[in-house]
Structure 1
Amino acid sequence: MKRSFTKGGLLTLLLAVLMLAVNPQQAKAQEESRFSMDVTLNSDIFFGFYPFFAGSYSLSDNTAFTFYGILWSGGNNGAGIGGGPWGNWTEFGVGMDFAVAEGININPQIGLLNGSLTSGLGTPVLGEGIVPNLTIGLDKAFTEGEIYVGYYAGFDHGNPSTNNYLHYWANYGFKISPFFSAGLHLEQLRFTGGINQPEGSAYDFYVALGPYVQFADPNGGAFARFTSGADLRSDDMIAKSGWTQPSFFKLTVGYSF
């Protein structure tokens, strides 16, 4: 017995085929919307030139898995923090981001250090130290800001001593227009000691405070920021560190995907 499609049956079949074709595309678009990434090129008076990336993958409306990396490279800043070259210093970490209120995110992360700065080994090594760190971000209609705190702790790889550092910054600014924002930036880098370091050896490499300006694509994407400031350290601290830095400046250019 022959069977033939009615108009209704044919329409149902066509709709089913169309759904099969469209759903994978919708699923792909939804999956892509869960991923975001920022890539920046940075240069400052102390650390020199270093690329940075930070990515996230949304797990829910208020949480996301995050990862980041800093290609500190082989800078040595004159004598260099730690007393010499850093051994192609590289930092890579993962964490979780939590949206705790409208425009406010908290992102604890843990990073792995590779190189020779914190270990004090003199030879680059995988896993020379760790960096527990925390970033708090503010992004509202007319204000923006960020607080970052990271503690760089070196591991003992058979070296006589290790080097630990505290690095933090805080900034707050106003979105004067969709294209332009400006505010204040405070940043500090401090040597805190380490294994077999003498008591009272801690000192500041810099404590800088000053303005920043930022220009950004109003539709998202490209942005550029220039940060400047003066050194707030005492004369005694400058002498103890052996690092003279009367001013501070940093230039960042990046893109948000």
Structure 2
Amino acid sequence: MKKKITPLSLQTLLSVLFLIVVSTTNVAAQDDDDDFSFTLALVSDQFFGFAPSFSGAYSLNPTVDLTFYGIMWSAGTGAGWGNWTEFGVGANFNVADGFGINPNLGITGGNLLSSGAEGPSIFGDGIVPNVILSLDKPRIDGEVYFGYYAPLRDKAPAGGTTLSYVHYWANAGYKVSPKFSFGAHFEHLINSGGSNVSESTDVYQWLGPYIQFSSPKYGVFSRLTAGGDFIEGNDSFFKVSAGFSF
């Protein structure tokens, strides 16, 4: 029998997130802004629609950073998910030159997971344990992401079900110069069924090339990714992103 997550579990999770945020704030107060980095990105694709995101990090020492991120999944398809949003905190470990491992724990607001997009929008719609592997070398870069979107509460109406998702991607590219790079991107979204695990289905499975233009001087970038979708009935995909870092 699947264990139901109670409101106490939500309170415990919020307490942990609050303590992490407070500790991060204390670190920031003690150090100057040279130890802080921030990235704002604007992303659009045909499934999630327009989904702005941000991420930041406070450097504790040369090998460990406290991290946070947020995603506003609110537009496009997400408009039917109760203005779905996600916020998370974690730590990045620089385990080797140019290679990092960043585990995070996120929490969502909306109604996609807890009620199968059929109930009212709530905070604590779901939790998102996830990890990012990053590679940044003078000539190559890449990223691997894996996240599990699980309902935190059971708010499904009579006859309905909660939902859960597995979302992962991987990309790698070659830097022709600091201003231009190209590579390949693979991304897969699986509806893993939630409270009805027999209903696990592939939502999309994308594969295609990307090109990216950057300005190291101003910390800005823009990327176009497009290609095919392996799921029957789907045709192609596109993803356009732009942003800046400082």
Equivalent position of 1:21 in the other structure: none
> Which amino acid in the other structure matches residue 130 of structure 1?
I
- Helix, strand or coil for the counterpart of 1:193? coil
Query: In structure 2, what is the equivalent of residue 216 of structure 1?
Result: 214
Q: Which residue of 2 aligns with 1:155?
A: 152
Amino acid at match of 1:169: W
Q: Retained in 1: the 8 A contact 2:68–2:90?
A: yes
The letter for the 1-side match of 2:179 is F
CA change 1:175–1:202 in 2 (3 A) is same
Pairing partner for 2:133 from 123, 136, 145: 136
Gaps of 5+ in 2: 1-28
Letter in 1 for 2:164: N
User: Following the alignment from structure 1 to structure 2, what is the Cα–Cα distance between the partners of residues 53 and 198?
Assistant: 32
Unmatched tracts of structure 1, length 5 or more = 1-27, 78-83, 239-243
Q: Do the aligned residues in 1 keep the contact of 2:226 with 2:239 (CA within 8 Å)?
A: yes
Q: 1:60 to 1:86 in 2, by over 3 A?
A: same
| Cα distance change on mapping 1:130 and 1:177 into 2, 3 Å | same
TM-score (norm 2): 0.83
2:50 maps to amino acid: F
Q: Which of the residues 88, 100, 125 maps onto 1:93? A: 88
Secondary structure of 2:51's aligned partner: strand
Q: Percent of pairs identical after alignment? A: 48
> Is the 1:74–1:87 Cα contact (8 Å) retained in structure 2?
no
Do 2:229 and 2:235's aligned partners in 1 also have CA atoms closer than 8 Å? Answer: yes
Instruction: Look up the match of 1:80.
Output: none
Moved over 3 A (4+): none
Spell out the pairing of 1:53-202 with structure 2 (5 A cutoff). Answer: 53-76=54-77, 85-120=80-115, 121-159=118-156, 160-195=160-195, 197=196, 199=198, 201-202=199-200
Q: Is the 8 A contact 1:75 1:86 kept in 2?
A: no
Which position in structure 1 is the counterpart of 2:46?
45
Residue 17 of structure 1 corresponds to: none
Residue-pair matches, total: 214
Structure 1 residue 245: Cα displacement: 2.4
**Residue identity matched to 2:56:** G
Bigger radius of gyration, 1 or 2?
A: 1
CA RMSD of aligned residues (A): 1.9
* TM-score with structure 1 setting the length: 0.79
Q: Is the 1:148–1:170 contact (alpha carbons within 8 Å) kept by the matching residues of 2?
A: yes
Q: Distance in 2 between matches of 1:48 and 1:74?
A: 6
**SS of 1:56's equivalent?**
strand
Give the Cα separation in 1 of the matches to 2:241 and 2:193.
Answer: 30
State the alpha-carbon separation in 1 of the partners of residues 143 and 168 from structure 2: 10
1:198, CA displacement in angstroms? 5.3
Report if aligned partners of 2:221, 2:242 keep a CA contact under 8 Å in 1. Answer: yes
Q: Distance in 1 between matches of 2:155 and 2:61?
A: 44
Q: Is the 8 A contact 2:41 2:241 kept in 1?
A: yes
What CA distance in whole angstroms lies between the structure 2 residues aligned with 1:139 and 1:158? 42
Letter matched to residue 157 of structure 1: D
Q: 2:236 aligns with which of 225, 241, 247?
A: 247
Counterpart residue number, 2:14: none
Kindly provide the amino acid, as one letter, of the partner of residue 179 in structure 1. K
Determine if contact 2:126/2:151 at 8 Å carries over to the other structure: yes
Whole-angstrom CA distance in 1 between matches of 2:48 and 2:103: 23
SS in 2 for 1:226: strand
Aligned to 2:25: none
Instruction: Check conservation: 2:131, 2:146, Cα contact below 8 A.
Output: yes
Which residue is 1:7 aligned to? none
**Structure 1 residue 166: deviation in Å?**
0.6
